[in-house]
Amino acid sequence: MFRQKIEDAGAVFISCDGYDFEMEDKENADRVGKDKAFASELLVSSTLALDEMSSEWIRKINPDVIVSDSVAFWGKLTAMKHGLPYVCSTTTFAFNKYSAKYMNHGFMETVKMLLAMPRIGHQIKRLQEKGYPVKGFLDIVQNDNETNTIVYTSKYFQPCSETFSDLYHFIGPSIRPVVHPVEKKAERCVYISMGTVNQNRTFYRNCVSVLGKTDWQVIISMGTNPEHFDDLPGNIEVYESVDQMAVLSIADAFITHCGMNSASEGLYFQTPLVLFPQTPEQEAVAKRTEELGAGIRLQSISEKDVMAALTAVLDDPKYREAAIRVSDSFKTCGGFAEAVAFLESVAEKH
Residues 58, 82 contacting (CB under 8 angstroms): yes
- The 10s digit of each residue's pLDDT in 209-234 is 999 999 999 999 987 766 677 789 99
Q: How confident is the model at residue 111 (pLDDT cuts 50, 70, 90)?
A: very low
In angstroms, rounded to a whole number, what is the distance separating the alpha carbons of residues 89 and 169?
10
Question: Which residues have CB under 8 Å from 349's CB, separation 6+?
Answer: 85
Domain limits of the chain?
A: 3-172+333-349, 189-331
* 180-207 residues labelled b (16+ CB within 10 A) or e (exposed): eebeeeeeebbbbbbbeebeeeebbebb
- The 10s digit of each residue's pLDDT in 176-220 is 999 889 999 999 999 999 976 666 788 999 999 999 999 999 999
- The 10s digit of each residue's pLDDT in 285-318 is 999 999 999 999 999 999 999 999 999 999 999 9
The CATH number that domain 3-172+333-349 falls under is 3.40.50.2000
In angstroms, rounded to a whole number, what is the distance separating the alpha carbons of residues 159 and 291?
10
Asked whether this chain's domains 3-172+333-349 and 189-331 adopt the same fold, the reply is yes
Neighbouring CB atoms inside 10 A of 90's CB total 23
- Which pLDDT belongs to residue 114? 46
In angstroms, rounded to a whole number, what is the distance separating the alpha carbons of residues 231 and 235?
11
Residues 163, 154 contacting (CB under 8 angstroms): no
- The 10s digit of each residue's pLDDT in 7-55 is 999 999 998 887 777 666 666 666 655 666 677 778 888 888 888 999 9
In angstroms, rounded to a whole number, what is the distance separating the alpha carbons of residues 310 and 290?
14
Residues 207, 218 contacting (CB under 8 angstroms): yes
Which pTM was predicted? Answer: 0.87
**Superfamily the domain 189-331 falls into:** Glycogen Phosphorylase B; (3.40.50.2000)
